[in-house]
């Protein structure tokens, strides 16, 4: 772990600072040029050759007092972290094993400790219990215990109930090996993070307490105490507080830097970070996208094709690529959607069908961009559209519904309000008219009890109902084109059929043109006039649905259809019937 931390620049700084701080805590008082509590110079003097940091109100050497105070200031923080670890980790581990009563009680105690105004309680505990260094470190350690309780509990839970530990036990691994290989790797980083942040907090709290001269009596030197006396004489020596402030801040910063570095290099994200750093040192791969684009420029496609005259959507040679790697995710896809028709796009996951739809809607993910080809919506190319043009286009002309409909609705707003929002913003309807229109739409998509659904949240509705709401939102403004991207995939079979019926009905009634994306041939066969089969980003077959499904020419299409026949229910039923006969 330390080795990984060392690989980060911030980790190296943190480790170096921590070594210096530890050295100061151990040997600081030995390095002091003067006795810390003796008057050795003029009162309240600025920095001189004899007194590098000047003298305080009693004529004591500030540098010596800073060095002598480091043992208590840093050592106190270390003891605090140790006590917090003991008070937190032990009940944290036990909470997993000692039964529900102990678990419940300890969790409530931890909740309470977290809610307490920390510093007030630290002051009160220290002073009431005897006002000494021991009481101070005990009180602060006790109040900081919740961090370790949580870390220990989480770690114990993950180890106690994890499949991989059980698998290792079953496969006969020794306990020592399991602990080294699995348990420590998982438990150490969070404990290291918690320890170093707690030491940082401990430093601040011990300094705060000593600043208030609680827990430590003068003349004992502490960083907090020095700062307090500097504040008293700040009018005479305005620069004196700089030394204790800088020292305290650097110590805290070192602890936090170390915690951040451990956080950065541990876990899955850390491994990725480190390997990404390694990768950056290697020469960058030549952009494949640029090469492909150059190749295409040399072989221009024969003449532009505007598609059929009644096409509402026309896609020509669409190529979509990842900007960074240059990988082409969709290559030279062309199709047209005629008014009132339904186009089906079929293909396995990763074949580029969703990306094609997203490019048509202008919502490709970051770094994925169109690398060639044209998309015309109602005869208008989408390439040069401004943000405002897109806002005008989406919802009004082209709209879409998706798989997992619940995630496409805001979880915090009534679903009805989200539909009426569209009507209010884009058609400038009044609140009441928008609501009335929304309820009409809800009835149109056959939602039972629109009034009730209007006031419900996403988490209160079923998947089928959510898809109906999403469809209502999509058709609210009367668009020409509706793209249904795997819109029925995660739904129950019966619900799936209902949604498909609804889409077909809306197509007839509202004059929609549909693009239906699915990996399910049955869906496409039921609804579509035309079918486009995609594989690895390319369109492998395109034609009228009946033709493609009955006499497929491409190998992949044939495979899809034969798989469907082999495993489809029809064949199973036919086989049964044959048996009976």
Partner 1 sequence: MATAEIPVGPNVGRSSPGTARSARPARYRVRRGLIALGRLLAAFVPVFVLGSFFTFLLGALSGLNPATIQLGEAATPQAVHALEKQWGLQRPFFVQYFDWFGKVLTGNFGNSWVNGNSVSSLLAGRAVISLSAAGLALLIGVVVGFALGGLATRYQSTWVDRVVTVFTSTISVMPPFIVGVALIDIFAVNLHWLPAAGYVPFGNGAGLWLSHIILPALALSFDTVADVARQLRVGLVTAQRQNYVTGAVVRGLSGRRIFFVHVLRNGVGPALAVLGLKFPNLLGGAVVTEAIFQLSGYGVFASQSAIKGDVPAVQAVLVVSVVLVVLFNMIVNVVLTRLIPASSRGV
Of residues 117 through 146, those in contact with partner 1 by CB under 8 A are 117-129, 131
Q: How many other CB atoms are there within 10 angstroms of residue 388's CB atom?
A: 8
- 404 contributes a contact to partner 1 by CB under 8 A: yes
**DSSP reduced 3-state for 185:** helix
- Which of 206, 237, 221 has the alpha carbon at shortest distance from 45? 237
Residue closer to partner 1, measured from CB, 250 or 301: 250
Residue ranges in 183-222 that form contacts with partner 1 under rule CB under 8 A? 200, 204, 207-208, 211-212, 214
Q: How far is the CB of 48 from partner 1 (least distance, A)?
A: 21
Residue closer to partner 1, measured from CB, 45 or 456: 456
Separation CA 541–CA 334 (nearest Å):
11
Residue closer to partner 1, measured from CB, 92 or 406: 406
Residue 352 vs residues 328, 364, 369, 438: alpha-carbon distances, Å: 10, 12, 13, 34
Residue ranges in 466-485 that form contacts with partner 1 under rule CB under 8 A? 470, 473-474, 476-477
Q: Find the part of the chain contacting partner 1 (CB under 8 A) among 375-383, 395-403, 495-503, 569-577.
A: 395-403
- 387 contributes a contact to partner 1 by CB under 8 A: yes
Q: How far is the CB of 293 from partner 1 (least distance, A)?
A: 26
- Which of 367, 355, 364, 362 has the alpha carbon at shortest distance from 394? 362
- 559 contributes a contact to partner 1 by CB under 8 A: no
Residue closer to partner 1, measured from CB, 197 or 496: 197
- Which of 579, 540, 580, 576 has the alpha carbon at shortest distance from 561? 540
Convert residues 64-103 into a mask of x (bound to partner 1 by CB under 8 A) and - (unbound). ----------------------------------------
Radius of gyration of the chain (CA): 35
Convert residues 218-257 into a mask of x (bound to partner 1 by CB under 8 A) and - (unbound). ------x--x--xx--xx--x--x---x--xx--xx--x-
Separation CA 298–CA 316 (nearest Å):
18
Residue written as token pair 């509202």: 510
Separation CA 504–CA 481 (nearest Å):
13
Q: Which of 363, 383, 546, 575 binds partner 1 (CB under 8 A)?
A: 363
Q: Which of 323, 389, 455, 547 binds partner 1 (CB under 8 A)?
A: 455
DSSP string, 236-297: T-TTTTHHHHHHHHHHHHHHHHHHHHHHHHSHHHHHHHHHHHHHHHSPPPP-HHHHHHHHHH
- 116 contributes a contact to partner 1 by CB under 8 A: yes
Tokens linked to 270: 């850390």
- 460 contributes a contact to partner 1 by CB under 8 A: yes
- 412 contributes a contact to partner 1 by CB under 8 A: yes
Residue ranges in 256-295 that form contacts with partner 1 under rule CB under 8 A? 256
**DSSP reduced 3-state for 369:** strand
Residue closer to partner 1, measured from CB, 135 or 158: 135
Residue closer to partner 1, measured from CB, 503 or 548: 503
């Amino acid at each position: 772990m330390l080795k990984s931390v060392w690989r980060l620049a911030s980790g190296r700084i943190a480790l170096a600072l921590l070594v210096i701080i530890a050295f100061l805590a151990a040997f600081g008082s030995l390095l002091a040029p003067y006795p810390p509590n003796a008057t050795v110079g003029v009162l309240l003097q600025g920095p001189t050759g004899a007194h590098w940091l000047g003298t305080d109100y009693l004529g004591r050497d500030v540098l010596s007092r800073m060095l002598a105070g480091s043992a208590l200031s840093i050592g106190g923080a270390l003891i605090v972290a140790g006590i917090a670890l003991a008070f937190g980790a032990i009940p944290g581990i036990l909470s997993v094993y000692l039964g529900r009563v102990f678990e419940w009680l300890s969790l409530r105690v931890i909740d309470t400790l977290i809610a307490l105004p920390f510093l007030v309680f630290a002051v009160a505990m220290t002073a009431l219990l005897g006002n000494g260094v021991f009481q101070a470190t005990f009180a602060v350690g006790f109040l900081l215990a919740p961090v370790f309780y949580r870390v220990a509990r989480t770690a114990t839970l993950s180890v106690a109930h994890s499949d991989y530990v059980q698998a290792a036990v079953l496969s006969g691994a020794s306990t020592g090996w399991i602990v080294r290989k699995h348990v420590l790797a998982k438990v150490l980083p969070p404990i290291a993070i918690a320890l170093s942040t707690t030491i940082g907090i401990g430093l601040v709290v011990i300094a705060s307490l000593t600043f208030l001269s609680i827990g430590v009596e003068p003349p004992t030197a502490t960083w907090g105490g020095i700062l307090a006396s500097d504040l008293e004489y700040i009018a005479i020596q305005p620069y004196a507080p700089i030394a204790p402030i800088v020292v305290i801040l650097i110590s805290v910063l070192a602890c936090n830097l170390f915690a951040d570095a451990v956080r950065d290099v541990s876990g899955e994200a850390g491994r990725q970070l480190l390997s990404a750093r390694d990768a950056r040192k290697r020469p960058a791969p030549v952009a494949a996208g640029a090469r492909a684009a150059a190749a295409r420029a040399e072989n221009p496609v024969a003449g532009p094709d505007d598609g059929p005259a009644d096409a509402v959507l026309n896609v020509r040679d669409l190529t979509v690529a990842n900007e960074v790697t240059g990988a082409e995710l969709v290559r030279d896809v062309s199709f047209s959607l005629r008014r009132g028709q339904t186009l089906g796009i079929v293909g396995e996951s990763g074949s580029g069908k969703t990306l094609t739809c997203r490019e048509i809607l202008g919502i490709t993910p970051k770094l994925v961009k169109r690398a060639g080809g044209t998309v015309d919506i109602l005869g208008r190319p989408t390439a040069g559209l401004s943000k405002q043009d897109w806002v005008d286009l989406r919802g009004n002309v082209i709209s879409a519904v998706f798989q997992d409909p619940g995630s496409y609705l805001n979880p915090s707003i009534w679903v009805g309000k989200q539909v009426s929002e569209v009507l209010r913003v884009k058609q400038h309807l009044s609140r009441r008219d928008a609501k009335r229109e929304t309820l009409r739409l809800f009835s149109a998509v056959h939602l039972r009890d629109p009034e009730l659904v209007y006031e419900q949240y996403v988490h209160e509705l079923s998947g089928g109902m959510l898809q109906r709401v999403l469809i209502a939102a999509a058709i609210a403004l009367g668009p020409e084109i509706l793209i249904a991207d795997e819109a029925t995939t995660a739904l129950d079979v019966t619900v799936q059929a209902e949604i498909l019926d609804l889409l077909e009905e809306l197509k007839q009634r509202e004059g929609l043109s549909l693009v239906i994306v699915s990996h399910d041939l049955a869906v496409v066969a039921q609804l579509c006039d035309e079918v486009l089969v995609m594989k690895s980003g390319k369109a492998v077959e395109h034609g009228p649905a009946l033709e493609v499904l009955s006499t497929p020419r491409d190998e992949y299409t044939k495979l899809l259809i034969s798989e469907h026949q082999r495993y489809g229910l029809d064949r199973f039923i036919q086989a049964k019937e044959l048996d009976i006969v």
